[in-house]
Amino acid sequence: MPQQRPLGPFTVSAIGLGCMNICHAYGPPVPEAQAERLLLAALDDGVTHFDTAALYGFGASETLIGKVLAPHRHRFTLASKCGMQGVDLKGDGQLVRVIDGRPETLRATCEASLRRLRTEVIDLYYLHRWDKQVPVEESVGALGDLVRAGKIRAVGLSEVSAATLRKAHAEYPISAVQTEYSLWTRNPEIAVLDACREIGAAFVAFSPTARGFLAIDLDPQAFDAKDIRRAMPRFTPAHWAANQRLLPAYRALAAEVGCTPAQLSIAWLLHKAPHILPLPGTGHVDHLLENNRADGVRLSADVMQRLEALINQHTVSGNRYSEQSNREVDTEVFA
């Protein structure tokens, strides 16, 4: 049986499945039949934590999960997100990404998500981004109202600082925080990991394989035109060569441990703290099964120390986000 960890009031597989890749962000959506096989394979392999968002594919991810997994709804914990979605601003049918944390928008987004997901309740509902034009207490208060209305069961936040987390938690209990965390993105170690532990919230680590950098051979020049990594400094020529130089020693450590590079990156997170839940995403069943086996990898204190000395905020070249994306998040950054 896969390792289990608490996710707010729920107990789920320690390794979940992020459902962005199937329709959004890293190029064209995977074929629907392939995505269906992936979701069912995850369920059959013991994954009980599925994570999506209204933003992903502008509803396409939620729609697919509803179509494929609704008959199995009792077998898994369902997480989704609001506060960042596609909006037709010009009335021409072209959706653009908008951050909107107003209570009325969050309520409407939730209703639309429930219809797409074909469920009566979403287990864990995140504020995908804090809309800095709206006090976080107002947005979280609206999510608390959705809990009381029986639309959702627990509230989460994504990409927030420890200070914002505490403000939000004072308004309504926060069950989980989701933020990018991997060997090459260590920002949560500044404050929010400790803040989660203090308030009893789970920490869900998305992009645990460093957006594929620690998992597979990548060629940023071959990325699809719509691949979001094209806008991320670490994948640009100015930084890519320096970052690639970290990989031979990293892969040698994986071979020493007896696991794949992807499994090593996920296992590192599992060893960091019991309230951390890695959330890898993929469009391929073989990668899914490979990722899930990471919960059986055992790392010694020596290997942990060597990994962290090799890949950290001082050895990785470039910011994780563009200037625009950095303005949209509230996470702490290293000096």
Q: Which residues are tagged catalytic?
A: 56
Distance CA 85, CA 280 (A): 21
Partner residues linked to 157 by β-bridges: 127, 177
| 8-state DSSP, 47 | -
Q: Using an 8 Å Cβ cutoff, are 229 and 223 in contact?
A: yes
- Helices and strands (H, E) in the chain, number of each type: 12, 12
Distance CA 213, CA 182 (A): 10
Three-state DSSP class for 87? strand
Query: To 10 degrees, the CA torsion angle through 181, 183, 189, 195?
Result: 40
Strands (E), the chain: 4-7, 10-13, 17-18, 49-51, 77-82, 84-87, 96-99, 122-127, 152-158, 174-180, 202-206, 276-279
